[in-house]
Amino acid sequence: MHPMLNVAVKAARRAGNVIQRASLNLDTIRVEKKKSNDFVTEVDRAAEEAIIDVIHEAYPRHAILAEESGAKGMGSAEFEWIIDPIDGTTNFIHGHPQYAISIALAHKGQIQQAVVFDPNRNDLYTATRGVGAFLNDRRIRVSRRIQLNECVIATGFPVVDQSMIDTYLAILKDVIGKSAGARREGAASLDLCNVACGRVDGFFEFNLKPWDIAAGSLIVQEAGGIVTDMHGEQTWLESGDIVAASPKVLAQLLQIIAPHVKG
C-alpha cells in the first residue's frame, strides 16, 4: 500500500471509531442545521478533527479541504487532502446505517489516492491511481452489464440545493423507464463504491461537493469505470454534477440526460 494511502486508511479508521462510539447514543448528539436539509453534528466535527490530526502528523505541510472546517494551507501546497468526515450525516442522525468517511489526496489537482470507509460494515474501499481499486484488499471491477434495461442505477435527490429539481425528476423518470430500476441510499461516496463493485451499474447526481465525490470517483475509475459531468466532460469535481458507470452504460445514461441539460 502506498504510504500516503496508508495514512488515509489510518485516519479513516480513527474517525470510524469516533463515529461508531457516538452512534450508540444518538439521542444525546447535538444537531445543527447549516441550511435547509443540511445538517452537522458534533460527531462530524470530532471525526474531521481526528482525520486532520492523523494527516498533519504525517504531512504537516499538506493542504486540507474539509466539509466542516473548510480550506487550510491552500495556495502553494502541491498536495491537498479532500475530506468528508461523515458522508450521509442525515442517515447517521436517524440511525440509518448508510454513511461513510471519504478521504482523497490530490497532487497538483489530480486525485491520486482514495479511501472510503463504511464503519457499519467495516468495509474499506481504496484506490491508488494506476494501481487499481480494492474492497478489503480484494480487487473490484465495475459491472459487465451493457444493456441499460438490465441495469440498476443509483442516484441522489437534490434535497439541499433544489434549483435543479425539475430537471432531475425528468431525468429520473426517463432513467426508471429505460432501466431495471433506481436506488437512492443517501451517501454519494458509497453509491460510487457500489458502482465500482458492480452492485449497481451507474450513478448520477447534481450539485455535490468535492468531498462527496473525490475519493469515490477515483475508486470507480480504478475499477474500470468512467466518471464525467452531465455533458460527458471532466468538470464534475468543480460543478458537482456527476455521472459514473461502465463505459457502455455511461454512454446510454448520457444519452438520456442530454436532452434535459442542453446549453
Interacting residues of 83 by C-beta distance below 8 A, sequence separation 6+: 48, 51, 52, 64, 65, 66, 67, 102, 103, 104, 211
| DSSP secondary structure letters along 113-168 | EEEEEETTTTEEEEEETTTEEEETTEE--------GGG-EEEE----S--TTHHHH
| 42 carries a ligand binding annotation | no
Whether residue 212 is annotated as binding a ligand: the answer is yes
Query: For residue 1, how many C-alpha atoms fall within 13 Å in the half-sphere facing its CB?
Result: 19
Rounded to an integer, what distance in angstroms lies between the CA atom of residue 185 and that of residue 24? 21
Helix (H) or strand (E) holding 54: helix 42-58
Distance CA 199, CA 128 (A): 21
How far is the C-alpha of 188 from the C-alpha of 121, rounded, in Å? Answer: 16
For cell 441550511, name the residue.
35
Consult the annotation and say whether 84 binds a ligand.
yes
Residue 103's DSSP bridge partners are 83, 115
| Binding-site positions | 67, 84, 86-87, 212
| Binding-site positions for Mg(2+) | 67, 84, 86-87, 212
